[in-house]
């Protein structure tokens, strides 16, 4: 346990004041020199903001709604993660999960994100968690398309906390109280949520950026009820019959609107049937069961889903089950200070 703990502590290092995985830092110049192409589409997110979700949506659009084609590879391998590099194979923290003693577990060979991207045919779809100031400059120089998904800070913090509990490649988050401080101080991998979101928001009109919100994709849309609603209501204690044709009823999760925006941004025009299929196939329930998206193929020694599943809850407002009243007040005050001057607005519950 000590070796694991020590190893977990050593896995983040700083680049320009921002914590990144050590293997990323070791390969930093190669990552910075990555050559983007004008027809690249880069999916950009702060960790735990719905990266996997938007990747599946984008891939379903790219494959014209063909589910089988989307099953060609696990989601992590479909869109090269440009700053990803495999840590060295013999690190002390690589404790073999079946025997729990062996410390030289060897990983199957894995290409770096930039290597995968370099051999990928164009047009390429890539992904990153990097903030604007650390993105390889060629993305700006080539005026690439960026698809940014932002998630409200409180749910992001909760999701990241559980992710760090189960992810042996990231530092142990400690208690929730400890993690609360770590997160608001930006001492997590890929740095401060506030700076990340602000950075991308502020340049969204200067580049080809489609800026989406997790909460909007998740939003339950209201649609007119097909049948007039009738029933009994009570007026001054007396029952009265009513019939109303203007009732707006919540329909099941309907991220159609946001998916349509992504489609347009990608220059695709798929019909209503395909759109409907994409909505169905990218629902939380479907993706939780799908081995190509739920990370079940990742060894337990890396992602221990018995601690917390990768597809955990997929909701808006889970922060209310974690934040104390005092934490919430403190968070709101800090949020106000850090986000002062930006016009970005988040939905905190649906
Ligand atoms: P929770 O931990 O709150 O459940 P990322 O892919 O960036 O690591 O983000 C992971 C978060 O997105 C997790 O949040 C996960 O459950 C959620 N997520 C993944 N697929 C989703 C989907 N189809 N619908 C809603 N949320 C989804």
Host domain of residue 229: 221-252
Domain-ending residue, one of 237, 252, 267: 252
Q: Whose CA is nearest to atom 14 of ligand 1?
A: 314
Q: Whose CA is nearest to atom 8 of ligand 1?
A: 48
Q: Is the pLDDT of residue 249 over 60?
A: no
Ligand 1 neighbours by CB, cut-off 6 Å: 45, 47-53, 155, 159, 162, 218, 282-284, 287, 311-314, 318
In a domain, 314, yes or no: yes
59 and 124 inside one domain: yes
- DSSP letter (8 states) at residue 186: T
Q: Is the pLDDT of residue 176 over 80?
A: yes
Q: Could you tell me the distance, in angstroms and rounded to a whole number, from the CA of residue 315 to the centre of ligand 1?
A: 8
ipTM here: 1.00
pLDDT at 107: 46
248 and 265 inside one domain: no
In a domain, 15, yes or no: yes
For 98-153, write each residue's pLDDT tens digit: 454 444 444 455 789 999 999 999 999 999 999 999 999 999 999 999 999 999 99
247 and 285 inside one domain: no
Give the pLDDT band (50/70/90) at residue 288: very high
Domain count, the chain: 2
Answer for the pair 261, 268: CB distance below 8 angstroms, yes or no.
no
pLDDT at 315: 97
Q: Nearest to residue 335, comparing CAs of 154, 211, 169, 174? A: 154
Could you give the CA distance from residue 109 to residue 281 in angstroms, rounded to a whole number?
A: 31
pLDDT at 110: 73
Give the pLDDT band (50/70/90) at residue 243: low
Give the pLDDT band (50/70/90) at residue 1: very low
Give the pLDDT band (50/70/90) at residue 93: very low
Q: Whose CA is nearest to atom 18 of ligand 1?
A: 314
Could you give the CA distance from residue 317 to residue 348 in angstroms, rounded to a whole number?
A: 6
Could you give the CA distance from residue 192 to residue 16 in angstroms, rounded to a whole number?
A: 13
């Amino acid at each position: 346990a000590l070796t694991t703990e020590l190893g977990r502590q050593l896995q983040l290092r700083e680049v320009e004041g921002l914590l990144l995985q050590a293997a990323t830092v070791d390969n930093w110049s190669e990552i910075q020199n990555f050559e983007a192409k004008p027809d690249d589409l880069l999916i950009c997110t702060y960790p735990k903001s719905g990266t996997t979700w938007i990747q599946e949506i984008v891939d379903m659009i790219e494959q014209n709604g063909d589910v089988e084609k989307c099953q060609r590879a696990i989601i992590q391998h479909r869109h090269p993660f440009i700053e990803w590099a495999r840590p060295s194979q013999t690190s002390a923290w690589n404790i073999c999960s079946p025997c729990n003693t062996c410390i030289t577990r060897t990983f199957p060979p894995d290409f770096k994100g930039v290597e995968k991207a370099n051999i990928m045919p164009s047009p390429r779809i890539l992904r990153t968690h990097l903030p604007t100031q650390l993105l390889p400059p060629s993305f700006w120089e080539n005026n690439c398309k960026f698809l940014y998904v932002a998630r409200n800070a409180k749910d992001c913090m909760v999701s990241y906390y559980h992710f760090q509990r189960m992810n042996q490649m990231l530092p142990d988050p400690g208690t929730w109280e400890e993690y609360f401080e770590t997160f608001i101080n930006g001492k997590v991998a890929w740095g401060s949520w506030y700076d990340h979101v602000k950075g991308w928001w502020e340049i969204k009109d200067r580049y080809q950026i489609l800026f989406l919100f997790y909460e909007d994709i998740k939003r339950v849309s209201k649609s007119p009820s097909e049948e007039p609603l009738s029933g009994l209501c009570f007026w001054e204690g007396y029952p009265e019959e009513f019939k109303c044709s203007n009732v707006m009823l919540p329909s099941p999760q309907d991220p159609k609107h946001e998916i349509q925006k992504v489609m347009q941004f990608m220059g695709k025009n798929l019909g209503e049937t395909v759109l409907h299929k994409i909505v169905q196939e990218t629902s939380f329930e479907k993706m939780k069961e799908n081995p190509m998206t739920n990370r079940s193929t990742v060894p337990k020694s890396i992602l221990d889903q018995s601690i917390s599943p990768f597809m955990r809850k997929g909701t808006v407002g889970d922060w209310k089950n974690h934040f104390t009243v005092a934490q919430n007040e403190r968070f709101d005050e800090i949020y106000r200070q850090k986000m002062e001057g930006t016009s970005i607005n988040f939905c905190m519950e649906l």
